[in-house]
Structure 1
């Protein structure tokens, strides 16, 4: 029998300068709210042995927005900020259940830059996605179609260390009941990328050999830079970009094989 599952569909997009600035502000506010809530919950447990839950941190967020120092939190959508508090609640739940370590503070340089929007903070119509606080839809590269009549329940926007922008849409997807067919064996070949039991061979483009040599050079250059220096930050960005190029080429090659 067929079934319905939640599935995330991830795409590249290219924001306008205004959208990029808005998202950058949102990422910073999300990180700040997460860290403030984590600090408050840590102090409550350390000083008073008190467990602070999501509702309490949500009330704290309302208070923070009314202060002069944190009034800028009102400039971004409130939904990603609330979602950050929910993610922190999940992290503490996993910690108390001994499924994970104690939550750590988010770093401006190290942590993933992302923001999560629920249905009240975005509009999806006719293949056009518009986020809260924005007047224009995102310029998304629809590399694959969404499920028919898809209605995203959650949208996550992120930016990787190479500066690429991604949007992930969580949708309901129906998995059809496919009858079993004859199996085909797959093995990694010596002179080819893959060898199938049918006798077919998939050639190896060998483009990764050159890219991985460039990645090794970039990593060696990074290792020579002084920690905390501007040159080290530039070298780290170079490593991220080379790694992103390898990932893109591998994905494109696998896409060609599947089609």
Structure 2
């Protein structure tokens, strides 16, 4: 199970994979080069040089993100024949000004694209849970479903069985159960689920 949170991914196996957050790491340099470009006279040689420097930095950020996603998706598709993920309303989440930059830095669409074609290439299946599936709000021990679970709440205790859950780890386990129950090809093979929760 994979969950987008403070880390790049949280798997149902308990593994937490930290992402590079390339845009956040290079944001100061981006701003400096953007300001430098804005001060140059349009059409001048210095303007062209500044534009090229800014373009190289954008390319570097994209390459760092792409490389991290390739390493993650390649590893997941090699290890697990059945992978469960959650369909997300990325366009809606991008409207939240507090989350937009972080979400864009993760590359949700590219992650899903790579996962789909690599899983198809190696055989197996990617099971996509509906975006209304309550992966984070459902207790993975007794199936109690909470009415609400704000994004700021990262851990919670089930009122029925008293099990304590990490939000992302719990969502990953629930997506694993969903993936296994949704496909017959899961029989005899390991399954992994990925839950997406921006944090």
Task: With a CA cutoff of 8 Å and minimum separation of 6, indicate the structure with the bigger relative contact order.
Answer: 2
Tell me the TM-score range normalised by the shorter chain: 0.3 to 0.5
Q: Which has the larger radius of gyration?
A: 1
User: Normalization by structure 2: what TM-score?
Assistant: 0.33
Q: Which has the higher strand share?
A: 1
User: Normalization by structure 1: what TM-score?
Assistant: 0.27
